[in-house]
A and B are shown apart, each in its own frame.
Chain A
Amino acid sequence: MREQRRKDAVWQFLTYAFVVTMVVVMMVPLYWMLVAATLPQEQFLQFPPRLIPGTAFLDNFAALQDRLDFVRTIRNSVLIAVIYTLLSLVLCSMAGFAFAKYEFKFKEPIFYTILATLVLPIQLLVIPLFLLMAQLDWTNTFRAIILPWAANPIGIFLMRQNMKSIPDALLESARMDGATEFQIFYRIALPTMRSSLAALAIILFLFQWDLFLYPLVILESADMYTIPIGLAQLTGFQRIYYDQIMVAATLAIVPMVVLFLVLQKQFVSGILAGSLKE
């Protein structure tokens, strides 16, 4: 019995040690980023490196702003991601509602055609979309970034799955009361979907927020850059100003970390919904 208890204690200690080590590993890069972003350049270049954050964040930020209008870059990213998320939510929930609650000709073939594109990596689309956008004269515009991904197969799939659970009797009684089909959709179906919509919104927002290869091809001028493109440009200069890049990285990461802490439940359900498709 005592032998067993000692074994348990050792096991518990090892478990704690492992988890705490991993937490430290996860935190070190983020902490290091904050340190580098807040130290003046000359202190940062010292060896051994300083490990305590300094107070030069605003100075570094001003230096960054001199080279690349990063405030505008953030504004672009937020604008694109928000418009994209809203647009895609509307399209996906409308189409998902139709696939969940109506019977119509070619329903199954259309749905499975859309579903089949789920397996295709988005990199497949970059080359033809680039040519298409060049033809439409849409290169270096936000609509070229937003529109192609608004019809999101994951979104329609999730919406259809979840809207199936809305009882038909509820819709039927609204129909009896003389509601139009569109009213049934946005007055009755949508409000019951609030948590699914939140999870989908997070999937869509993060998708657009992290999009890199495609905007890299489409966006040309510095005033149109999104955060990933702006950051990649900063690392491409002859001389790399790490303090400024870390300021930019901090501005890109910290707001999302805060959002994650506030909306953790929705993030987790977004991750689970986006991955466990069935």
Chain B
Amino acid sequence: MATSDETDDRVGQAYRRRLRGAVGRAMRQSRRAVRPLWDRFRFARQDLTAATPTLPRVAYLFIAPFFLLFSVFLAFPVFYTLYLSFFEYQGVGQGSLFWIDLGPVYLEIPQIAQLNFIGLGNYARLLGNELFWQSMFNTSYILVIQVPLMIGLALALALALNASFLRLKGVFRTAIALPVSANLVAYSTVFLLLFNEQLGFLNYALAGVGLGPVPWLTDAFWARNTIIAAVTWRWTGYNMIILLAGLQTIPQQLYEAAEIDGANRWEKFRYVTLPQLKPVFLFVIVLSTIGTFKLFAEPYVITGGGPTNSTITIVQYIYRQAFVNFNLGYASALTVVFVAVVSAFSVAQIKIGGED
């Protein structure tokens, strides 16, 4: 048996050697065969390079991929929402909107949805809808309290972190800006637990100082405040970073000049810091206003819009109408109204941002 193994091995080795020779030969041959092909490829590439559009036209190649996606997934949907807002949605489209049969070529653009034209019916409906006004009110209520509270805190923190005497600036700044990295839904679930009436840390801490349990999530008034607290926690550091960057651009000489004039701390803030910071400050306000208008994840997770719709926001109402009740036409009309409001703020933002 052993000998037969050895012979097998010897045969194998010889076979392998021969094979190696064959492979080498084949490769050498193929390389010789491939060389003209490779050259042809190189020439073709050079031709292609020479043929690529020169300066003005190459630009279209650069923007083409972006523009293609932009047209299909951004520009078209914007107009389609507007279109949809005049219709009643009846189901996913089955037929085709447009088709052309050229023998071998058959082009078909499917109908996106089955629609029934109702003019301004959706708009009339939303104006008369109580829940629409409720959601508008909730959003405005949260806005009016949350934005000033958050901007005030952010400004105070930015001023403190900009003060010359403060040590450990980097540590404080990092700690306060940390929530910026927290995923919206993840931090919302943390607040859901934090404000839980029985298990929550907050009611436990309040009990420690002798205050009774607060119905954070089950009372309309407190539920709104819970949302306000959550949003403020997440975004204060974000605004502080922007305001701090704004503060650091104020020239130091202005403060020195004010000091020589005998200005105290308040006067320096009032007559140097505020006017200098004004564009950034206004900008942060507009940015936060838009952000709060778009509120969705927090009320969705923390309160679910409840209790009895006292925390439902506009976007949440749109979501319910569109994807729970499948009133996509009506939801589009709501979206158009919502976007009109937000865009007004956005235009203000660009105006303010563009001033400096």
Contact = CB atoms under 8 A, between A and B. Distances in A.
Contacts of B67: 95, 110, 151
> Most chain-B CB neighbours within 10 Å: which of A124, A210, A212?
A124
A125 B241 contact: no
Interface residues of B, number: 102
Given A227-B185, A249-B190, A124 B335 contact: yes
Contact of B353 (A18, A209, A277): A277
Nearest to B49: A180
B309 to A, nearest CB: 18
A267 B178 CA distance: 11
Nearest to B287: A275
A246 interface: yes
Contacts of B187: 29, 249, 253
Contacts of B145: none
B166 A32 contact: no
B143 interface: no
Interface string A232-270: 101100000010011011001100110111001001100
A261 B192 CA distance: 26
A49 interface: yes
A129 interface: yes
B80 A212 contact: no
B189 A245 contact: yes
A65 B166 CA distance: 46
B198 interface: yes
B192 A49 contact: no
> Most chain-B CB neighbours within 10 Å: which of A18, A149, A206, A212?
A212
Interface string A121-137: 10111111111101100
A161 B76 CA distance: 26
Contacts of B74: 117, 125, 148, 151, 153
Contacts of A278: 353-354, 356
B194 interface: yes
Contacts of A150: 69
A246 B186 CA distance: 8
A102 B190 CA distance: 49
Nearest to B76: A128
A107 B62 CA distance: 12
B55 to A, nearest CB: 7
Contacts of A227: 183, 185-186
Contacts of B60: 98, 104
A185 B70 CA distance: 21
A185 B153 contact: no
A111 to B, nearest CB: 9
B221 interface: no
Given A127-B322, A209-B183, A228-B184, A95 B189 contact: no
A235 B73 contact: no
B301 A124 contact: no
A251 B169 CA distance: 28
A123 B185 contact: no
A26 B112 CA distance: 47
A97 B62 contact: yes
Nearest to A99: B63
> Most chain-A CB neighbours within 10 Å: which of B92, B153, B245?
B245
B116 to A, nearest CB: 15
A121 B199 contact: no
B281 interface: no
B174 A261 contact: yes
Given A118-B346, A150-B69, A245-B193, A267 B63 contact: no
B29 to A, nearest CB: 35
Interface of B, secondary structure class, is helix
B335 A235 contact: no
> Most chain-B CB neighbours within 10 Å: which of A11, A131, A182, A217?
A131
Contact of A147 (B73, B241, B338): B73
B77 A119 contact: no
Contact of B178 (A18, A30, A94, A120): A30
B315 interface: yes
Contacts of A12: 165
Contacts of A120: 78, 339, 342-343, 346
Interface stretch (B35-43, B155-163, B267-275): B155-163
Interface in B72-92: 73-78, 80-81, 84, 92
A103 interface: yes
A276 interface: yes
A26 B173 CA distance: 11
B104 interface: no
A23 B176 contact: yes
Given A104-B59, A114-B70, A246-B193, A18 B156 contact: yes
B175 A23 contact: yes
A247 B85 CA distance: 42
Contacts of A245: 189, 192-193
B186 A252 contact: yes
Contact of B185 (A25, A33, A212): A212
B56 interface: yes
B117 interface: no
A22 B153 contact: yes
A27 interface: yes
Contact of B58 (A16, A25, A181): A181
9 contacts: A33-B190, A125-B73, A127-B84, A131-B112, A151-B74, A181-B58, A232-B185, A252-B185, A253-B181
Given A114-B70, A272-B241, 4 more contacts: A119-B346, A131-B112, A132-B76, A252-B186
Q: Ordered nearest first, which 4 A-B pairs have the shortest CB separation?
A: A119-B346, A128-B77, A98-B62, A148-B73
